[in-house]
Amino acid sequence: MDMATINASLDNIIGRVERAEALDRPANALANLVGKWLKPGPVKNLLSGTGTGHPAHPILILLPLGSWASAFFLDLAGGPDGGSATAARRLIILGNLTALPTALTGLSDWADTQGAERRVGFVHAALNITALGVFTASAAARATQARGAGVLTAALGMGLVSASGWLGGHLAYARGVGTDTTAFEVASPDWTDVAALEDVSDKPVCVDAGGVAVLLVRHDGEVRAISDRCTHRGGPLHEGTIVDGCVECPWHGSRFRLADGQIDRGPATRPQRAFEVRAVDGRVQVRAVADPGSLRTEPVTGSAGLNGGGSSS
């Protein structure tokens, strides 16, 4: 089977999950329950990874997955006797224990998704919960010296978490869940005219700065400009409210400082891009601060993009 056939088959599988509307009822019910329990604030910040610059869930995944995979390796290569069997049992238990906080971070992130992403995430979570049950059974079997059953259940658990991991990878890398939604916005480093100075008030508005949506607002006598698309899930910040010098996203409650776009409250983990502002002849002009990132700054059209102008290194 060639690579194209394999990719097409996998795309067909994930497409069926993404379009499975039968998943909506249980998924939405669970997401609503999580939303009622987990409001924006310190606990949500902790589970989201706010303050670290990245979501917490992908980092914590290493703990249970690494423990279970190490135990599985010892099962295959360590032999039935000696310290390897004891070490494998302890690793299974460690994986089970660390799976709980990992699941909480994932649940927090997943509750902020919609549509296809929510359906895939629901199946991802179901596989992980099933895997945890299987690994718990493996630990119990090993505790009663039924090592053969413990090994077999651990192998089944590894299969489940591998399938779940593939779905998680699809969410992160194909659907961009957890990725800064402004990562590929190409903002001009040149001054761009966006509005009349007299039209800027304490009510935020969205203006077009060379194809990039920018929130514009007057606060404490200063005109402020930050990216309008929320880095968390893409919410329109100009539809939010101004709170203590911050704008609060109307979708999930993240707050960003108007002065510099930094996060004041999660669940966002990446700040908003801030723009320099000046007034010229009664007009407001903005420009983006220089960005060293290649994927963010290289155009997809124009001579550089058409002629392969990216770095070859």
Sign of CA dihedral 154, 159, 164, 166: positive
In the predicted model, what is the mean pLDDT of the chain? 91
The verdict on 30 and 154 lying in the same domain is yes
Q: Is residue 180 in some structural domain?
A: no
Cβ within 8 Å of residue 159, ≥6 positions away? none
**Cα R_g (the chain), whole angstroms:** 24
298 in a domain, yes or no?
A: no
Per-residue pLDDT band for 79 (boundaries 50, 70, 90) equals: low
Q: What is the pLDDT of residue 312?
A: 38
pLDDT in tens, 272-288: 999 999 999 999 999 98
Are both 89 and 141 inside the same structural domain?
yes
Q: Where is pLDDT greater, at 84 or 160?
A: 160
Residue 303: predicted pLDDT: 44
Residues 42 and 148 both lie in one domain: yes
Shared-domain flag, residues 42 and 100: yes
Q: How far apart are CA 186 and CA 304, in angstroms?
A: 14
Do 231 and 98 share a structural domain? no
What residue numbers bound the domain in which 95 lies?
3-174
Determine, yes or no, domain membership for 55: yes
Question: By the 8 A CB rule, do 223 and 197 touch?
Answer: yes
| Tally of domains in the chain | 2
Same domain, residue pair 11 and 139: yes
| Same-domain status, 170 and 199 | no
Pair 160, 66 in one domain: yes
Indicate if 233 and 276 belong to the same structural domain. Answer: yes
CB of 257 within 8 A of CB of 204?
Answer: no
pLDDT of 311 over the 90 cut: no
Q: Is residue 247 part of a domain?
A: yes
Q: Are residues 113 and 26 in the same domain?
A: yes
Does 271 lie in the same domain as 124?
A: no
- Residues forming beta bridges with residue 242, ordered by sequence position: 247
142, 174, 206: which is the final residue of a domain? 174
* Residue 146 sits in the same domain as residue 12: yes
The rounded distance, in Å, linking the Cα atoms of 205 and 278 is: 17
Q: What is the CATH number of the domain that holds 271?
A: 2.102.10.10
Is residue 212 very low, low, confident or very high in pLDDT (cuts 50, 70, 90)? very high
